[in-house]
A and B are shown apart, each in its own frame.
Chain A
Amino acid sequence: MADQLRLTVDGRDVLVPAGATILGAAEAAGVEIPTLCHHPLLKPSGACRMCLVEVEGARGLLTACSTPASGGMIVRTRTDQVVAARRTVLELLVSEHPLDCLTCESTGDCRLQDYAYEYSVTGRDVAGLPNTPAADGRQAKLDDSNPFLVRDLNKCILCGRCVRICHEVMGYGAIDFVSRGATTKVTTAFDVPLEESPCVFCGNCLTICPTGALQAKTGRGLGRSFQYDRVRTICTFCGVGCSLDLHVRDGRIIGASAAEGPANRGLVCVKGHFGHDWIQSPDRLTTPLIRAGDGTFRRATWDEALDLVASRLAEIKAAHGPDAIGGLASAKCTNEENYLFQRMMRAAIGTNNVDHCARL
């Protein structure tokens, strides 16, 4: 078929639609190719050079993320030449990267760390290059002036994922590359703090940052990815239905992150990303309350409170009929709860006076 291409990746035959990249073909063949700058929501940029592969008949190595597959291609992803090239890429990146993984918030959730481990790159392999930006006076200051995000540009590997998601997906373009060569960095226009830029703090940049250059401000020091459980759930705010992972350690929520779900495809907004502290607010109600004779509330047991509610509703129903009682269910409660609420109003009380805030 003309709209399908057949090629070989590491000896495996694979059929892909025309227009697929070599990376896409490798995925279809079940072959994993390392990437740092590639992301499925973003246009290919070929910036990081981690995905280099050998293609029979091609001059030099090609970037799998940005090279279209073609029929009859023979691709090899783990030859000595490929592995050596990836090691060089990693050595150059790590030579400029702080080696403070002991205390880095992103340890265990860092692609650079994973690949350095996989390719045995220590950061001491590039003769003549300093192993931290500090050594040549390029130490960047930590930017934590806003309430949501911490930027540590010393850990930035200039993959451009954050820049591209801000431009290509969110449409704000709050950050971009500035300067050239060794002084290139990602920042706002005129290098102002994020809160003075068009940034809306969705934090989708931090979701896809492959290193610790972008971190959530809340939850710092409370636990790293290997110390907390991720509980997949749905965000409680608007009706988009974003999938979220709540980060739970010792029975407490210490953070949240965007999860890959059909409604949000890994995206989230500032409320979904950083807006869950209220769950553990000291203001939460913890016992039933009954209004006392003097007008103040007193604490009550569940039996006491529910008995009172049931007897008062029964009295009012007896005196004025079921339609003297009205119930408001909730757009913040589950389907199961709304179903039970209306069943109780209709079957136990006997009225159709049930509604909720759909109109508000």
Chain B
Amino acid sequence: MTNSNWEFEHSEAIFIIGSNTTEAHPVIGAVVERGRQAGATLIVADPRQTEMARRADIHLQHIPGTDVALLNAMMHVIVTEELQNREFIAERTEGYAELAGLVAKEYSPERAEQITGVPAGQIAAAARAFAKAGRGAILYSMGITQHTTGVDNVRSIANLAMITGNIGRYGTGVNPLRGQSNVQGACDMAALPGNLPGYQLVADAAHRAKFENAWGVELSTRPGMTLTEMINAAADGGIKAMYIMGENPMISDPDLNHVEEALRSLDFLVVQDIFLTETARLADVVLPAAAYAEKDGTFTNTERRVQLLRRAVPAPGESRADWQIIGDLSARLGHPLSYRGPAEIMDEIAGLTPIYGGVSHERLASGAGLQWPCPDRTHPGTPFLHRERFSRGRGQFAAISYRPAAEQTDGEYPVILTTGRILYHFHTGTMTRRVAGLHATVPEGYIEINDRDAAEMGLASGDKVRLTSRRGSLVTVARVLPTVLRGVAFMPFHFAEGAANVLTNAAFDPVAKIPELKVCAVRIEPVAAAGAPAVADAGQTQGGGVR
């Protein structure tokens, strides 16, 4: 995020798009609630009436995959009603004229209504409320990024923030809510194919030279593959071996039948994890790792704050911390990585990574954390970014046209399926489904179907339904609700039996390579209730227990 968690308490308008904040980031949901009660206008764009949408002043219930059209129409209103922040645009940005020309000409709220399904008047009201606020923050999550237009969506959000001057100040910003405890840190540390730590570039000779000197090896200049590309390459034979640490692509990735085929075709698969996950079951070697409570180290949260983890209990049996396992393996591969502990590893990171330059375990012990960029040992950290200037100098507006999602509904697959998280479970469920209270609260997967659609299909809550996409089929339980948009259905992806990702589309954004998990086309059919035969790929989807 450009800004910090608790700044939203003092925002005057909060625009949430593609984030089910109270369920997926509940404590930030609480901060937004405090902002709302203090008088901020809350605007939520979501195909479902989530708890946050229910609390909103304006709920824009748009069709999944139409975000660019919605955002462009908001900017159309801002430009044509002259609500833009002229001073910010003139002093801090470039490319405004092209964007303004495009949205003014092609994205009237009336045209956007045709695309998004949101009444033009609501789009205009949202645009006015956001543009007129002194401090406006935009929050988003995977509802924006997991599209073949993910980059377009994010750039449109940046356009909206810049056109209203809502960046570089307290209580504003472009704020992606990161979904896992250390997803920000894993990116910062360059668990990314094109980067070296701190977003230095593999393609930059000077950056590479710095790491070659420090590590005493020559580094490859060939660009690496992203996760989705590696899976495809594994299926095609380009990748022969994979080493997977603490991930479960057999639940989390799109088009699971394809993922399984890819992983099975590898010559060698190593999985390092805390449980024998669906992915680990396919491995040649499984290495037992310590959990977060069993080791020291740091996580970097969604507001770029590096914070200290402390070992509370010993790891079970012979399992070991991931850093110890990697160190021993790397030595066997001829590149010893031997450290006294995580604090010493962080010192090495700080020496090579300018944005972490001032980070050390010793400084973090106070409990305040340090928000990067933190370039040196006396720097207090950076609560919000882009105060004086953007990293590239001027902020670049991008004139972006709406492109439909990769897969469209048709007669055979008439319903848009979108996926996401629920409050009581986390990601692939390996942890939370082993917590008795959480499991008892939501024991099994389900699909949310609009009540009028369900009536037409002759479905009621608790009925078993068969879902089929172009990639796979499964059986789950229907929850019939008025809160999901007509023609749209929602499934949480936490559940291994009847896994939503059997259905999802692996088509990905051309730049970010992020798969389109938020839009695919499915068919929903009732499954005969009495005496229905057990379905192999459905697992425990018996009725009852629907909350």
Contacts and interface: CB of A to CB of B under 8 A. Distances in A.
B50 interface: no
Interface string B3-37: 00110000000000000001011111110011011
Contacts of A336: 297-298, 323, 342, 345-346, 349
Given A240-B302, A354-B192, A324 B313 contact: no
The 5 A-B residue pairs with the shortest CB-CB distance in the complex, in nearest-first order: A286-B317, A241-B301, A352-B224, A334-B297, A330-B246
A204 B29 CA distance: 13
Given A234-B181, A335-B297, A275 B323 contact: no
A240 B31 CA distance: 11
B435 A335 contact: no
B181 A305 contact: no
Interface stretch (A82-90, A184-192, A337-345): A337-345
Contacts of B321: 337
B532 interface: no
Q: Is the interface of B mostly helix, strand, loop or mixed?
A: mixed
A280 to B, nearest CB: 8
B288 interface: yes
A326 B230 contact: yes
A240 B312 CA distance: 21
B139 to A, nearest CB: 12
B527 interface: no
A353 B329 contact: no
Contacts of A341: 191, 245, 322, 326
16 contacts: A238-B25, A251-B314, A262-B369, A271-B424, A278-B431, A285-B317, A290-B286, A306-B287, A313-B243, A316-B268, A328-B242, A332-B182, A353-B193, A355-B191, A355-B193, A359-B515
B96 interface: no
B222 interface: yes
Contacts of A217: 437
A138 interface: no
Contact of B33 (A170, A270, A323, A340): A170
Contacts, number: 478
Contacts of A227: none
A358 B318 CA distance: 29
Interface string B427-449: 00011101111101100000000
A324 B268 CA distance: 11
Q: Which of B298, B301, B320 has the most CB of A within 10 A?
A: B301
Interface in B403-437: 423-426, 430-432, 434-437
Interface in B280-324: 280, 283-289, 291-295, 297-303, 305-314, 316-323
Nearest to B32: A171
B242 A327 contact: yes
A286 B314 CA distance: 12
A316 B237 CA distance: 12
Contacts of B508: 359
B316 A339 contact: no
Given A275-B431, A333-B245, A353-B193, A285 B177 contact: no
Q: Is the interface of A mostly helix, strand, loop or mixed?
A: mixed
Interface string A153-177: 0000000000000001111000000
B186 A356 contact: yes
A357 interface: yes
Given A237-B181, A288-B288, A269 B333 contact: no
Interface residues of A, number: 112
B396 interface: no
Contacts of A339: 189-190, 197, 345, 348-349
Contact of A239 (B180, B215, B268, B273): B180
B247 interface: yes
Given A251-B313, A287-B318, A288-B286, A326 B220 contact: no
Contacts of B317: 284-287
Nearest to A200: B423
Contacts of B468: none
Interface string A123-147: 0000000000000000000000001
Contacts of B191: 329-330, 338, 341-342, 354-356, 358
Given A241-B300, A289-B285, 16 more contacts: A200-B22, A233-B310, A238-B179, A240-B177, A270-B424, A274-B438, A285-B276, A329-B247, A330-B191, A330-B247, A334-B185, A334-B342, A335-B297, A340-B323, A356-B183, A358-B191
A147 B442 CA distance: 12
Nearest to B344: A336
A249 B263 CA distance: 41
Contacts of B308: 233-234
Given A275-B435, A334-B323, A351-B220, A240 B301 contact: yes
A154 B439 CA distance: 30
A239 B424 contact: no
B209 interface: no
A360 interface: yes
B323 A310 contact: no
A329 B245 contact: yes
B120 to A, nearest CB: 30
Contact of A263 (B186, B239, B301, B513): B301
Contacts of A241: 5, 181, 299-303, 305, 307, 369
B241 A305 contact: no
Interface string A72-113: 000000000000000000000000000000000000000000
Q: Which of B194, B224, B268, B348 has the most CB of A within 10 A?
A: B224
Contact of A261 (B252, B346, B369): B369
Contact of A335 (B188, B196, B316): B188
A213 interface: no
A81 to B, nearest CB: 37
Contact of B369 (A263, A279, A290): A263
A359 B181 CA distance: 14
A349 to B, nearest CB: 7
Q: Which of B183, B187, B368 has the most CB of A within 10 A?
A: B183
Contacts of B320: 302
A267 B30 contact: yes
B457 interface: no
Q: Which of B291, B311, B317 has the most CB of A within 10 A?
A: B291
Nearest to A322: B220
Interface string A282-320: 011111111100000100101001111110111010011
Contact of A269 (B26, B285, B307, B326): B26
A306 B240 contact: no
A231 B367 CA distance: 12
B202 to A, nearest CB: 5
Nearest to B279: A328
Given A274-B437, A336-B346, A285 B288 contact: yes
Contacts of A289: 276, 283, 285-286, 288
Given A234-B307, A316-B268, A355-B230, A309 B182 contact: no
B328 interface: yes
A304 B438 CA distance: 38
B181 A360 contact: no
B146 A359 contact: yes
Contacts of B270: 309
B406 to A, nearest CB: 15
A332 B316 contact: no
B90 interface: no
B441 A147 contact: yes
A239 B183 contact: yes
Contact of A233 (B22, B183, B309, B334): B309
A278 B225 CA distance: 33
A246 interface: yes
